[in-house]
């Protein structure tokens, strides 16, 4: 006999480390996740200021769509590469393996990289100042979340120190998005 769906979802949520206490005191980084989800949801806001449509509008729409799709593909690829090690929280799951292959070979946070590329795509597509601000806010939040995650990974995996010294964080060559140790 199969378990009811509510138990299945409760199992996944508790496996990721969510708890009622964590929602109150942020013990596993729950607030970072909810902030991230909130900023991503704000990407559905309309463009402000709204761009007047002209002959070059299709270029912005095409380029923005390409960036959005690329970011979505990169994030999805990184998401599935983590497998059972996946946790949306910045604190790794207890006993999780360190993943440094696939999309994690050349970037420590390819899921975040994909989210930022997709966010850029939305801002370009809409030519929107508010979406540019959302991109910057999302980048700042993901940097904070990644740094917390890295502190926890350093404690959990001694080989992580070598990995972070040679692998870019999110984007190679951008100091605020590439802090190699």
Digit-by-digit pLDDT tens for the chain (181 residues) are: 444 455 555 666 667 777 777 778 888 888 999 999 999 999 999 998 777 777 678 999 999 999 999 999 999 999 999 998 998 999 988 889 999 999 999 999 999 999 999 999 999 999 999 999 999 999 999 999 999 999 999 999 999 999 999 999 999 999 899 998 5
pLDDT of residue 53: 72
Say what the pTM is: 0.87
Token representation of residue 73: 């593909």
Instruction: Say which CATH class 32-177 falls into.
Output: mainly alpha
- With 0-12 / 13-18 / 19 or more C-beta atoms within 10 angstroms meaning exposed / middle / buried, residue 49 is exposed
pLDDT of residue 3: 47
- Give the torsion sign (CA, 164, 168, 170, 176): positive
Q: How far apart are CA 163 and CA 25, in angstroms?
A: 31
pLDDT of residue 6: 54
pLDDT of residue 180: 86
- Give the torsion sign (CA, 112, 38, 98, 165): positive
The continuous run of DSSP H or E covering 82 comes out as helix 57-82
Q: How far apart are CA 128 and CA 132, in angstroms?
A: 6
Q: How far apart are CA 36 and CA 141, in angstroms?
A: 7
Q: Where are the domains of the chain?
A: 32-177
């Amino acid at each position: 006999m199969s378990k009811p769906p509510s138990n299945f979802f409760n199992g996944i949520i508790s496996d990721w480390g969510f708890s009622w206490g964590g929602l109150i005191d942020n013990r596993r980084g729950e607030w970072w996740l909810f902030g991230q989800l909130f900023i991503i949801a704000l990407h559905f806001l309309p463009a402000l200021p709204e761009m007047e449509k002209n002959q070059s509008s299709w270029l912005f729409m095409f380029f923005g769509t390409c960036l959005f799709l690329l970011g979505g593909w990169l994030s999805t690829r990184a998401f599935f590469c983590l497998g059972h090690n996946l946790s949306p929280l910045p604190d790794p799951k207890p006993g999780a393996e360190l993943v440094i292959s696939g999309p994690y070979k050349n970037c420590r946070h390819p899921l975040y990289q994909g989210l930022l590329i997709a966010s850029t795509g939305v801002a370009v597509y809409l030519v929107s100042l508010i979406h540019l601000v959302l991109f910057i806010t999302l980048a700042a939040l993901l940097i904070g979340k990644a740094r917390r995650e890295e502190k926890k990974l350093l404690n959990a995996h001694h080989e992580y120190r070598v990995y972070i010294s040679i692998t870019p964080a999110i984007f190679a060559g951008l100091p605020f998005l590439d802090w190699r140790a």
